[in-house]
Amino acid sequence: MLPSEVAFDEPLVTKYQAPCVRVEINEALQQALSVQVNQYKKEIAAAFNDFGDIPEQFKALWTSHPDFVALHSIQHQIIKAVSLVVLSSSLDVDGMVMPHEGGTKGYFFDTCDGGNGAAEAIFSDLPKFATKAYTLAAQCNCEAGCPRCLHSCGCPQHNAQIAQGLGSIFA
C-alpha cells in the first residue's frame, strides 16, 4: 500500500432520506411512444442509408426501450424546469429511470437529507412542470433534441440511453 492510501474496513457510504415521486407510463402512452420512435427510426435510417451506419447520437433508439428513452428525456427536461416553477434550483432534485416488469418507472427525488420540497412540488403540480419543460424544449434552437436541452451533467445514470433525436417528441 502506498503511504497516501487509506484502507477502510467497510466501504464509505453516504445515506440520506428524502421524498421520492414515482412516475409510470400507461399502456396507451407506451404504444404512442413506440409508434413515434419507430417513425423516427425509419426517418433516421432513410437519412443515413447512403452512409451505411447510424450516427452515435441516435443509437439509443435502437438499443433501448422507447419508454426508457422517453421517460429519461422528459425527466431531464422537467428537472431543468424546476427553477422556473418553484423557488428552488434544478440541483435540488434529481431522477432515475428503471426498467420494471410491465414497463418503465421513473423516480424524482430531493437531493438533500430530509428533502427540500422539489420532488413534492413536481408531484403536486406535474402539469405545470411539464408545460415549462415543453416551453424550454420548444425554445431550444436544435432540430430534434441536443445535449443542451436533453442531457444533464449531473445525471446519476450518465445520460444513458438518451437519444438526442427524441427532442422533437416533446417539443
Average pLDDT of the segment spanning 81-90: 92
Q: pTM for this structure? A: 0.78
Counting the structural domains of the chain, the total is: 1
Query: In angstroms, rounded to a whole number, what is the distance separating the alpha carbons of residues 71 and 68?
Result: 5
Residue bearing the bigger pLDDT, 152 or 164: 152
Q: For residue 66, is pLDDT > 80?
A: yes
Q: Is residue 11 part of a domain?
A: no
Q: Is residue 73 part of a domain?
A: yes
Percent of the chain at pLDDT > 70 equals 87
CA distances in angstroms from 17 to 114, 116, 119, 121, listed in the order given: 5, 11, 13, 17
Q: Is residue 4 part of a domain?
A: no
Q: How confident is the model at residue 160 (pLDDT cuts 50, 70, 90)?
A: confident
Q: Is residue 135 part of a domain?
A: yes
Q: Is residue 68 part of a domain?
A: yes
Average pLDDT of the segment spanning 3-32: 80
Range of the domain at 77: 20-170
Q: Is residue 79 part of a domain?
A: yes
Q: Is residue 65 part of a domain?
A: yes
Q: Is residue 138 part of a domain?
A: yes
Nearest to 68 by CA among 24, 109, 110, 28: 24
Q: For residue 70, is pLDDT > 60?
A: yes
Give residue 161's pLDDT.
75
With cell 477502510, the residue in question is 8
